[in-house]
Amino acid sequence: MPYDVIIGLEIHAELKTKSKMFCSCNNDAQGKAPNTTVCPICLAHPGTLPVPNKQAIEWTILIGLALNCKIRELSKFDRKNYFYPDLPKGYQISQYDLPIAYDGFLEVDDKPILITRVHLEEDTGKLIHPAGKKHSLVDYNRAGTPLVELVTEPVIRDTATAKKFAQNYQQILRFLNIANADMEKGEMRCEANISVQEKGKWKYANGQISPVGKYKLNPKVELKNINSFKYMEKAIDYEIKRQIKAIKDGEKLIQETRGWNNDKGVTFSQRTKETSADYRYFPEPDIPPLKITQKWVDEIKAHMNELPEKKIKRFKEEYLFGDREAEILASDLALADYTEKVIMELRSWVTATGDSWERQQRKLAKAAGNWLINELFKHLKAGGRPISKLKITPENFAEFICLVYQDKVNSSAAQTILAQMFKKGGDPTDIMAELGLEQLDDQAALEKIIAEVILKNQKQVAEYRAGKTNVLQFLVGQVMAATRGKANPKVMIELLKNLLK
């Protein structure tokens, strides 16, 4: 391709603080009636004054630290002026030239993606346009929710990297436990600035894309209102193709904001872009500048949660999980916490039996990893009950793994027990007893049943003895049926072969 793709991202994420950014209103409007979590401050009544939320400032510093940013000693808020019905003040309190965090990076596939800035602002309300009506409705519950905006340098060169960056950032926000960052719910919103330039005709230096020689840069398009990673990928891909085609066809591209129409699979023009001068930024006179001392930053840093990359590494070293297992189990905070609790339970079980954890750890971790990934992770991925509402406690999951590990149940019985646990919860040992699933490995009892099966299936036995060894599977099935699936397969097959001789 004779073209280079230049992508920069802007990502907004709502913080899940208890109260809003500048007032004491409840910041959780989930399931609440419109305009019920509001007050004169977030409705911008005359004479009210904003007071910044300390938690939101600390969490923005935390994000900055997690993204390897510098934290500014002196920061401030600014007014970004524009008129829109969902913005009660007629301006948004944001940050312009002195954002809290700046100059950071986040790695995607071991390559650092440079971050220009991370700043704190407030969210707007929501407009609702009822179908078939001539009026619109406005809900100010969201107005004043703390909103963190991250801006990257224009250093992303392909769609896959853009998507992974947004996904990694979402994961970090969740691991820090400061945002839900659910794109479908609008708690995280991604915008992509995209342009396409001829190879060798442009350069990137000091945060700027500039032309080489007499080349005229193609304008960039800002993609907005993308509410899932899947749409983000589709929209960016479409936009790259559209711009390249326009250049080839000699059409004029313009700087504009475009949205994504998922039904048609196309981007469409929404408006031509304002420049920052249109916003008439000026310092917010109602809030004094923020002094962020090194001591404060150090305190915040000391309490920072473990980040995904570090957790994956620790899962490999501490629990001896393989690469794939560690990546899956440590990639989600709730799943990682659950996994650690299961491992702790297994460890105390091993210690209680008088055995050494070091001796059993590798095998048990392998078994635990398999069950957690094949059953629990699969269940979550299929949209099953989330971990917070799961009926299986880590204690019971660990006990279940022990039952299997000790050969007390065979694999088909294990599946039955686990299915019951997913449905109703409960102690796996009790369920095993209740359903009569305890593995049958009593030699004498098994021999008696096998002898009956041999007697009843003389034709197949003769075939087996004549060398048609695949008949064995049939006979195994008969014994399993006779024991209602409870026979210990290892012991039973051994006995069966001996008796057939």
Q: Which is nearer to Mn ion, 166 or 496 (CB)?
A: 166
Q: Which is nearer to Zn ion, 143 or 232 (CB)?
A: 143
Chain centroid to CA 215: 41
- One DSSP character per residue, 86-120 reads T-TTSEEEE-SSS-SEEEEEEEETTEEEEEEEEEE
Q: Which is nearer to Zn ion, 143 or 365 (CB)?
A: 143
Q: Which of Mn ion, Zn ion, none binds 42 (CB below 5-8 Å, type-dependent)?
A: Zn ion
Q: Which of Zn ion, Mn ion, none binds 149 (CB below 5-8 Å, type-dependent)?
A: Mn ion
| Least distance between Zn ion and beta carbon 364 (Å) | 52
Q: Name which position in 58, 122, 139, 149 contacts Mn ion (CB under 5 A).
A: 149
- One DSSP character per residue, 145-188 reads -EEEEEEE-S-B-SHHHHHHHHHHHHHHHHHTTS----TTTTSE
Alpha-carbon span 260 to 475, nearest angstrom: 60
| Least distance between Zn ion and beta carbon 48 (Å) | 9
| Least distance between Mn ion and beta carbon 273 (Å) | 14
- 23 binding Zn ion? (CB under 5 A): yes
Q: Which of Mn ion, Zn ion, none binds 329 (CB below 5-8 Å, type-dependent)?
A: none
Per CB under 5 A, which region of 25-33, 126-134, 147-155, 232-240 contacts Mn ion? 147-155
Q: Which is nearer to Zn ion, 44 or 297 (CB)?
A: 44
Alpha-carbon span 155 to 165, nearest angstrom: 12
| Least distance between Mn ion and beta carbon 92 (Å) | 7
Q: Which is nearer to Mn ion, 122 or 325 (CB)?
A: 122
Contacts of Mn ion in 363-382 (CB under 5 A): none
Point out the residue whose Cβ comes nearest to Mn ion.
149
8 Å CB contact between 310 and 334: no
Q: Which is nearer to Mn ion, 149 or 340 (CB)?
A: 149
SS3 193: strand
- 222 binding Mn ion? (CB under 5 A): no
CB atoms within 10 A of CB 471: 19
**CB-based contacts of 480: which residues, under 8 Å, 6+ apart?**
487, 489, 492
Q: Which is nearer to Zn ion, 39 or 461 (CB)?
A: 39
Alpha-carbon span 209 to 217, nearest angstrom: 9
Alpha-carbon span 160 to 236, nearest angstrom: 10
Per CB under 5 A, which region of 46-54, 143-151, 234-242, 451-459 contacts Mn ion? 143-151
Q: Which of Mn ion, Zn ion, none binds 342 (CB below 5-8 Å, type-dependent)?
A: none
Find, among 380, 379, 437, 441, the residue nearest to 412 by Cα. Answer: 437
Q: Which of Zn ion, Mn ion, none binds 413 (CB below 5-8 Å, type-dependent)?
A: none
Per CB under 5 A, which region of 142-150, 268-276, 322-330, 471-479 contacts Mn ion? 142-150
Give, to the nearest 10 degrees, the angle between helix 394-405 and helix 411-424. Answer: 170
| Least distance between Zn ion and beta carbon 35 (Å) | 11
| Least distance between Mn ion and beta carbon 87 (Å) | 12
User: Residue 195 has which token pair?
Assistant: 């342009």
Q: Which is nearer to Zn ion, 39 or 499 (CB)?
A: 39
Between strands 70-71 and 101-108, the pairing is: antiparallel
Chain centroid to CA 412: 32
Q: Which of Mn ion, Zn ion, none binds 39 (CB below 5-8 Å, type-dependent)?
A: Zn ion
| Separation in Å, CA 371 to CA 287, 367, 415, 423 | 54, 6, 10, 17
Contacts of Zn ion in 30-59 (CB under 5 A): 39, 41-42
Q: Using CB under 5 A as the criterion, which residues of the chain lie in contact with Mn ion when the complex forms?
A: 149
Q: Using CB under 5 A as the criterion, which residues of the chain lie in contact with Zn ion when the complex forms?
A: 23, 25, 39, 41-42
